[in-house]
Structure 1
Amino acid sequence: MSDYKDRNENEIFTKVLKAGRRTYFFDVRETKAGDYYLTITESKKHFGDNGEASFEKHKIYLYKEDFKSFEEMFKDSTDFIVNEKGEDVISEKHDKDYKSKTFTIESDDEV
Structure 2
Amino acid sequence: MSQQFMMEQEEIYSKVMRAGRRTYFFDVRETKAGDYYLTITESKKFTNDDGSFHYKKHKIYLYKEDFTDFKANLEEMIQYILDEKGDEVISERHQKDYKREEDTEETEKASTETSSFTDIEFDDI
Range of TM-score over shorter length: 0.7 to 0.9
Structure with the largest fraction of helix: 2
The alpha carbon displacement at 1:53 in A equals: 1.3
1:72 alignment partner AA:
A
The alpha carbon displacement at 1:91 in A equals: 1.1
Structure with the largest fraction of strand: 1
TM-score (norm 1): 0.76
Aligned residues: CA RMSD: 2.9
For residues 24 and 65 of structure 1, the distance between their equivalents in structure 2, rounded to whole angstroms, comes to 22
Structure 1 residue runs of 4 or more that deviate by more than 6 Å after TM superposition: none
TM-score (norm 2): 0.68
Which one has more relative contact order, counting CA pairs under 8 Å at least 6 apart? 1
2:9 is aligned to 10
1:60 is aligned to 60
Q: Secondary structure at the match of 2:84?
A: helix
1:41 is aligned to 41
The alpha carbon displacement at 1:15 in A equals: 0.4
Structure 2 residue runs without a partner (length 5+): 103-125
For residues 59 and 76 of structure 1, the distance between their equivalents in structure 2, rounded to whole angstroms, comes to 22
Aligned residues: 97
